[in-house]
Structures are given as C-alpha cells and as structure tokens.
Chains A and B, each alone.
Chain A
Amino acid sequence: MEAFAGLLQGFDVALKPINLLWGFIGVTLGTFVGVLPGVGPALTVAMLLPLTAQLDPTGALIMFAGIYYGAMFGGSTTTILLNTPGESASIATALEGNKMAKAGRAGPALATSAIGSFVAGTIAVVLLTLLAPVVVEVALKFGPAEYFALMVFAFTTVAAVLGASTTRGLASLFVGLMLGLVGIDSQTGQPRFAFGVPELLDGIDVVVLAVGLFAVGETLYVAAYTSRLPETLEKMSGSIWMSAQDWKRSVPAWLRATAIGFPFGSIPAGGAEIPTFLSYSLEKKLTKHPEEFGSGAIEGVAGPEAANNASATGVLVPLLTLGIPTSATAAILLTAFQNYGIQPGPLLFQIQPDLVWGLIASMYVGNVILLVLNLPLIGIWVKVLSIPRPMLYAGILVFATLGAYSLHQSWVDLATLYVFGLLGFVMRRFDIPVAPAVIGLILGPLAETQFRRALSISQGDASVFLTQPISAAFLAVTAALVVVPWLVRRRRRLRKLG
C-alpha cells in the first residue's frame, strides 16, 4: 500500500502543468534525436544533458524520463525504415521490421512497435511501482560490504556475461575503472593520475566519455567504414493502422516479451540485448506463421520492441532503489542525478519521496504522451530520416562538442572528447563493447568508496565480505557466473578431443 500512497503523491507532482510540459518536451526531443540514424538512447540522453542546466531537479528528471522513452521509440522507427539499428538492443527488431517495411508494411510495423512499447512500458512501470518499495526495504539494511558485493556482481554481468567475448568485455570494464581513478580520491584527498592538470582533478565526466565513444567514435567509424555504402530508406506507404489479424498476433507477443524483458532489466544484469533476442526466438517458435519469419513477421517486431522497452524500464529498478546503473543509458541518467547532488538509492525514497515518486508517475504520463504524439506524427519523424548524411553527422558533432565544452568551458574537455572518440572508433571497429567502460567509470569510484568503508568498519579485516550472508551470496553468484560457463566450455572441448 506504501507504493500506492507514494504513487498518488507522485501523480500530484507529475500532473502539475509545468511538469507535464517538461515531460512533453522531453518525449518530443527524445524522439526527434532518437530518430537520427546512429544516435541511440544513451547518446540522446548525454547530448541533451546540458539543456537541463537551469531546471529544478524534479522538472529536469521528468524531462529526462521523457527523453529516455522518446529516444527508445525514435530509435525503433529508424531501425525499421533504415535497417541501421542505433544500438545492440534494436538488432532483433531490425530482422523482421525492415523486411516488413520492404514489403510495404512499414505502417503496421511502426504501429506495433509504438503500441507494444506503450503496453510493455506501462506494465513495466506498474511492476516498477510495486517492486521498488520492496527492494528499498531490503536495501535499507545493506551496509558497505553488501553494496560492494552487489557492484562486483553488476560489473561481472555487464562485462563478462553479456556480450560476445568475456575477454574484450573485461578489457573495456578495466579501461573504464582506470578512467574512474583519475581525480581526487574521495577518502583521503590524494590526487591520482591527474598529472597536475586542474581539469583532471575533478575526474573524468561520464558525459564526455559517453559522447566521445557514442558520438565522436561512431561518426569516425561511419565516415571511415560505411559512409560510401548505398543506403535505402523504406517509404512509408499504405495505412499505418494494424489490421485485426495484426492485433491478434501482436498482443500475446507484447505480453510475453514484457515478462521476459522486465526481469532481465531489473536484476542488475543490464543490457536489453539478450531479452530482445530471447523474445525474437520465442516468437519464432510459437508463431502460427513460421513461413513469414525472415520476410517480415509482425510478431518478430512486436516481441523484441516490447522486450526492449520493458527491460529499459526494469533497469530503473536497480538505478532508483540501489543507485546502481546497469546500462550505458542508466549510467548517464545517474550522472544527471549527481549533477543535482542527488544520489539515487533507498534513502532517496525517504528523503525526497516527491522527487522519486514524481519521476515514477511521470513515466506513466510519458508513455501516454509517447503514444498520442508518435502515431499521428510519424510522418514528421520519417522526414527527419531524409536529412543528408553529411549534414546530419556534422550537426551531431556540433552538439556533441557543445555538451563536452559546456562542462568546464575548457578546451581540455574537447581534447579528452577527441581521445575518447578515437578510443570509440577502435572499439567499434574491433567489436569491443563500450557499455562496460561507461559503467566502470561511473560505478568504479562508488565501489571503491564502499569497499574502503567496509574495511574501515571491520578494521581492515577482509573476511567481512564473506561473513556477511548477503554480501557472500552476491559474491558466490558472481563467481558462479564466471566459472560455470568456463567449465562447461572446457568440458565440451575435452569431450571433443577425447
């Protein structure tokens, strides 16, 4: 019932006209930027961060929730019409979505993805509402040791378990952790790896890293490796409405996908990529029209899109209740909180219930705005896609550099941005995941603080992480996640040999 009271209070905040306006602006901007090819949700949120400089925290965060949802929806439009998934979570949508568009069914594909996002997003927010107070209740009992163990779990899932290669994921994570060391040590005031550069004493901003990797790196990669390839934009022809048959096939897919996506997002295992592919293969198995898969089956769009949205909302559970981001986008949202001196976590629900519940309530509202805004306006979003590529990427870089420069008004941030751009270019070319680096940068310093606090309390006795049951359990699961797949692979290989 606590959730219900909190939510009512939240709607009080979210339905204020000014906050409705911020939500509306957020959704519109998020969709507009999210539609741009090559711009995924993480980059959209990072690039629009400077816009909130003058807003009060509640308004700014409500706007950000809108941007988050808008960017997700905008991204799927691009994926379907252009077959250029802006992020790995959209790849599954591209498989069938682009085929549908090629077959002249772009309208229903976009509709099922918009309505599916709404359905999945709304159910996921309901689940978030119910789940958050429960997690908060547990998390209030967490000490530094538990937090540290939980963060180690998050690092491991993000870097080692998700993604194609454990080795490359870990390399990326440790590069992020290394960047997180730069600056003044929060416990002792000792400068580390700043080389006497004043701008580096503040530490490396997550926005600079994210914009460098996602905007500069991506632009360099696209220009150098794909800009001279022909590109086909599918036309929006025919009705955008779904037929009765389309509805009948979409609804169960949305619901199943929500059931897959939300848990994946909400355990600190991040990444919407796995649930989208799980949903895709589940729909492929269950469908009554297997012959359509590969040439544009509507379930193959409805499922992954809903899974993507449900998991994106699920990611907000660990972010809001524990302060732990498990996707690159969540890492940037955490920066947005930190810019206002707000640390998400169980205490936030007690100290600033207005803000947290207002934010949660605004997601219900955001989902509705998204639906009413996007279906009728789809023609405008499609026009955005026809901006010539040279202009598009030039504009993206003007905004990207603005975001980095406005942090300290210093060219040092621009230089750092370019270095991260080169890093992103190399990572993109050699299939090294970037999310672990972004999460390592923001979560590394938090984990270090908890680690040293735990040891301070135990007077330097490192066994504290194993004698506290919750901490020990997290560490045991983490170890199992790494060791078990390795053992399985090894046994398989031995069997093959012997």
Chain B
Amino acid sequence: MRRSGAEVALSLAVLALGAGVALGTAFLPAQAGYARIGPNFIPAVVAFGLIVAGAFLLVEALGGGWRSMPEPAERTEHALHRGAFAWISGGLVAHMALMQWAGFVLAGAVLFACVARGFGSARALRDALVGLALALGVFLFFVRVLNVSLPGGWLKPLIGGV
C-alpha cells in the first residue's frame, strides 16, 4: 500500500481551490438576461468541477495513491536538490524586484547568474558577464529593432529604454 502525503495535500489544495471559487461566486451578481443565467453560472460550474476532481483525487490518494503514476524505477530522477530550487526561485524573485528600477539588462544578468548557479555552475562572475551580454543584446534588439519598450533602469543614460 503506497500512500503519499504530498498527493493528499495536493488533492486538498484542489478541493480548497474549488471552495474558494464557490465562495467568490457567491459574491457575483446574478444579472440574468434573456439567457436566464448570469456571470455567476459558469464560475459555479467550475467550482463544482474543481471540488469533484479534488474529491476523486483525495479518494485515490487515501486509497493506495493516485492511479497510473509512473513507477519509481521508470523515473530518472535524483533526490530533490533544494539548493537548485532555491537559487532559481531566488533569481526569479530578484529579477521581478530589480526590473523596475535597475532595468531589464541588470535584472536579466542577475537572473542568468542565479539560474546558472542553480544548475551547479561555480563561475558566478563569468555567468553574470555572459548574462549581461545576452540581456544587453536582447534589450537592444527589442528596443531598437522591434520598438518594444523595456525599462533601461540604471543603464538608461547609456542604452536608452523607458
């Protein structure tokens, strides 16, 4: 008998999502026109669907695990590498925060270096420089050639942008 705590937790998350949508639906106006149904009808259907799917997942999870999952032997995986996950997540969050004031190029260089580090690269300075060059090239192409506006940030006096 296989039982996975994570599967139970995910099933509960789907159920909770359904409950959340149901709650949100309760606050939507009915406004039924000719159709006799308003903007709250389909959300109610979706809430119902999420709750049913979550309930089935939970029943499977508690009764021996989700059905037809790949066998552990079929998976080519090593144990969860927390550091890798943390570096990439951190890189994405830093990128989000840096984008508005440091600008696209510097944010991109930081993201690049963090992701490379997450994949086990040990040469942070080289990665940051490669990232800088890549982000700068992309920036110039998008801003100058495609006329897409991207934030220049701290480098704005040098490279332009918004």
Contacts and interface: CB of A to CB of B under 8 A. Distances in A.
Interface of A: 50-51, 53-54, 164-165, 167-168, 170-171, 173-175, 177-178, 181, 185, 187-188, 190, 192-193, 216, 219-220, 223-229, 388-391, 393-395, 397-399, 401-402, 405-406, 409, 411, 414-415, 417-418, 421, 426, 430-431, 444, 448, 451-453, 455-457, 459-460
B76 A226 contact: yes
Among B39, B52, B95, B97, find the residue whose CB has the most chain A CB atoms closer than 10 A. B39
Contacts of A401: 92, 95, 108, 111
Main SS class of interface, B: helix
Contact of B57 (A50, A168, A178): A168
Contacts of B119: 223, 227, 389-390, 393-394
A171 B53 contact: yes
A430 B7 contact: yes
A390 B117 CA distance: 7
A479 B113 CA distance: 51
A320 to B, nearest CB: 26
18 contacts: A54-B146, A165-B69, A167-B56, A168-B57, A181-B21, A187-B39, A188-B39, A219-B88, A225-B80, A389-B119, A394-B116, A394-B130, A397-B111, A401-B92, A401-B108, A405-B99, A415-B96, A456-B35
Contact of A53 (B46, B68, B121, B148): B148
A402 B142 contact: yes
A223 B81 contact: yes
Given A54-B146, A225-B78, A393-B119, A216 B39 contact: no
B26 interface: no
B159 interface: no
B107 to A, nearest CB: 8
B70 interface: yes
Contact of A167 (B57, B89, B92, B162): B57
Contact of B127 (A192, A394, A402): A394
Contacts of A168: 57, 66
Interchain residue pairs A-B with the least CB separation, the first 3: A460-B36, A390-B116, A390-B121
Interface string B89-102: 10111011101100
Contacts of B120: 227-228, 390
